[in-house]
A and B are shown apart, each in its own frame.
Chain A
Amino acid sequence: MRYLTAASLLTAIATTLAAPAAWACMDFEALSPTESSQLLAAAEKHLEDGQPQAVIDLLAYTPEMSSWRHGNKRMELVAIASIRLGKVDRGVRALRALLRKTPDDPFLLARLAEGLGRSKHGKAEALAILERLDQQDLMPDALGYAVLAQLLPAGKGATQAVARCEQRALKKSDCTLGS
């Protein structure tokens, strides 16, 4: 019996070592760390290129990520893509869940404000978030300033927000009000 157990164990180890990159864990299949990283990098690129649907297509139906960090990153990318595809409530809910773990993450806060800015009742909260990030010099990117400029009433600092956006943007057109 002891030899049988040892043989089973060895077989299990050999099977695991010989397995393809995806990891089998109990009843779940999970991606290896390298696969997860590559997938997330590709999805992040789609988001930067303005292709939120491609992010959903890539990440929505893949197996579990190998680590909670990668899982969180997937949740973040899907949430932002959802907001940009008009599924604002879903995206905002996911970002709020992520912010419970890191409540002061400037990037997540800026994306939450982006989502809230597109919602019916979230504009005041969005404005407060972005004004705070601006005051603390923690605005993570040009988009944060572009959203701030859109939310600010005319003559109340919107021009300044556009100017800051243009400093941080690759293209000035990214900062055009109403874009």
Chain B
Amino acid sequence: MPLPHLLLALLAVSGPELVAQFQCQRCHDGLAGAPPIPVERHCVHCHQEIEAGTFDAPAEVQAGWRPNLVSLRFAPDLSELGGHLRPEWVEGFLLAPIDLRPQLLATMPRLPITPPEAKILARHLVGPPSVEQPAPAPSEVEQGRVHFLRLGCGECHAYSGVLPGRGPLSSAELLSASAAKLLAPDLAHTRTRLRPEALPTLLQTPRKLRAKALMPDYTLSPEEVSALVAFVRAAPITPVPEAPPKVRLPLLSRRVSFPEIKTKIFQKHCRHCHADPDKAFGDGGPGNAGGLGYAGRGLSLVDYRAVQSGGRDDQGRRRSIFAPLPDGTPRLIAHLLARREEERGRVVLGIVGMPLGLPSLDEAELQLLESWISQGRPP
């Protein structure tokens, strides 16, 4: 028996168990058999209810939250994935998430998942490996490019390395954009992500493959379908130049106080996952009570007392989030810098990037936080 299969057999953990362990249903719908999650713990349902004004909170409170609802308004439905996704790609995506949907602020969070677990989960979600098909003819690829531009596919889809990107959406656009637009994947990944045999159906009659597909039905001719499939499968991809790294600005000379840090950093980026169940709906979030496969860290970032009181390490011992790591960087800052690295496709071993699955702090925000820490964390 090959070693990977032996490992899987030894693990004896099932796909549904892994779905429950990593709480996939915290963001995604369509997971058959997964136990339901209450709305106050479901990132997307909670945001959608607030948007609709139906969440169980005073109307004026919801109105105050609504302008901030730019992320996690939608997440992909995971029903009927088996017909079109490749398990090999899903496995890799679970292990090292990439920015698959450029218009969506959130990305798939980095999970504490092992390679054997990723293999089992991928097989559970999308079934057996796909069948390879011969590469399309170059003439068809060019014809496909013409159809792609004529049909305006780029209105929703990016195609990195093949077509120029349209740049990120503004906050106002993010608030009003449709699910189809926000969830449209970057087609540069299609050749490794989708089963080649599924592509024609996906283009011609998307809802034949998936009842909840968001792709519009364009009633394409067989020739158009064939050319478009060739274009997304085989258009030459030029490596996209890496975005310049965000820099660390010098510390501020002015005094920074906790209320400013609370409003501009903790409330904006951290509090959803590091909440206090005494002061919020839900259980304190995955960063406090545990979730998404991570153990509870007991870390609340809602007020001064909580922030100074730290969280728990892997052994459950309490530790400061400001204690310097061997290179002198405070632990909190190291997690925020790790997220910047993750956005550039690099994983920092032993440090999970924060905010988990969301954009890293901008340069001014990090400067503010580092200044406050260097000033002795005044109230």
Q: Which of A104, A105, A167, A170 counts the most chain B CB atoms within 10 A? A: A104
- List residues of B whose CB falls within 8 A of some A CB: 277-279, 304-305, 308-310, 317-320, 322-323, 375-379
B310 touching A141 by the CB < 8 A rule? no
A140 touching B305 by the CB < 8 A rule? yes
With the chains together, A142 CA to B310 CA distance in Å?
A: 16
Question: Hey, which chain B residues are within 8 Å of A167, CB to CB?
Answer: 375-378
Question: Hey, which chain A residues are within 8 Å of B375, CB to CB?
Answer: 167
B318 touching A168 by the CB < 8 A rule? no
A168 touching B309 by the CB < 8 A rule? no
A15 within 8 Å of B (CB atoms): no
A69 within 8 Å of B (CB atoms): yes
Measured as residues with beta carbon below 8 angstroms from the partner, the interface class of chain A is 20 to 34
Taking the closest CB of chain B, its distance from the CB of A71, in whole angstroms, is 11
Taking the closest CB of chain B, its distance from the CB of A18, in whole angstroms, is 18
Question: Hey, which chain B residues are within 8 Å of A53, CB to CB?
Answer: none
Residue of A nearest to B308 (CB): A140
A138 touching B376 by the CB < 8 A rule? no
Question: Hey, which chain B residues are within 8 Å of A107, CB to CB?
Answer: 305, 309
Q: A136-B319, A138-B309, A139-B308 are in contact. List 9 more A-B contacts (CB 8 A).
A: A40-B278, A137-B310, A140-B304, A140-B309, A141-B304, A142-B379, A167-B375, A167-B376, A168-B377
Residue of B nearest to A105 (CB): B309
> In residues 53-91 of chain A, which contact B (Cβ within 8 Å)?
69-70, 73
Taking the closest CB of chain B, its distance from the CB of A140, in whole angstroms, is 5
A164 within 8 Å of B (CB atoms): yes
- List residues of A whose CB falls within 8 A of some B CB: 37, 40, 69-70, 73, 104-107, 136-142, 164, 167-170
Question: Hey, which chain A residues are within 8 Å of B320, CB to CB?
Answer: 136-138
With the chains together, A142 CA to B378 CA distance in Å?
A: 9
Residue of A nearest to B330 (CB): A137
B379 touching A141 by the CB < 8 A rule? yes
Residue of B nearest to A167 (CB): B376
Residue of A nearest to B276 (CB): A69
> Contacts A70-B278, A138-B309 hold; do A169 and B318 have CB atoms under 8 A apart?
no
Residue of A nearest to B303 (CB): A44
Residue in A69, A136, A138, A142 whose CB lies within 8 Å of B277 = A69
Residue of B nearest to A163 (CB): B376
21 contacts between A and B (CB under 8 A): A37-B279, A69-B277, A105-B309, A106-B308, A106-B310, A106-B318, A107-B305, A107-B309, A136-B320, A137-B310, A138-B318, A140-B305, A140-B308, A140-B309, A141-B304, A141-B305, A141-B379, A167-B375, A167-B377, A168-B378, A169-B379
With the chains together, A169 CA to B378 CA distance in Å?
A: 7
9 tightest Cβ-Cβ pairs between the two chains A and B = A167-B376, A137-B320, A106-B309, A104-B318, A140-B308, A140-B305, A69-B278, A107-B305, A140-B309
With the chains together, A167 CA to B258 CA distance in Å?
A: 12
Taking the closest CB of chain B, its distance from the CB of A95, in whole angstroms, is 15
Residue in A137, A138, A168 whose CB lies within 8 Å of B379 = A168
Question: Hey, which chain A residues are within 8 Å of B309, CB to CB?
Answer: 105-107, 138, 140
Question: Hey, which chain A residues are within 8 Å of B308, CB to CB?
Answer: 106, 138-141
Q: Which of B279, B309, B378, B379 counts the most chain A CB atoms within 10 A? A: B309
With the chains together, A37 CA to B302 CA distance in Å?
A: 15
Question: Hey, which chain B residues are within 8 Å of A168, CB to CB?
Answer: 376-379
Residue in A73, A137, A164 whose CB lies within 8 Å of B278 = A73
With the chains together, A40 CA to B277 CA distance in Å?
A: 14
Q: Which of B304, B308, B323, B377 counts the most chain A CB atoms within 10 A? A: B308
> Contacts A167-B375, A167-B377 hold; do A104 and B317 have CB atoms under 8 A apart?
yes
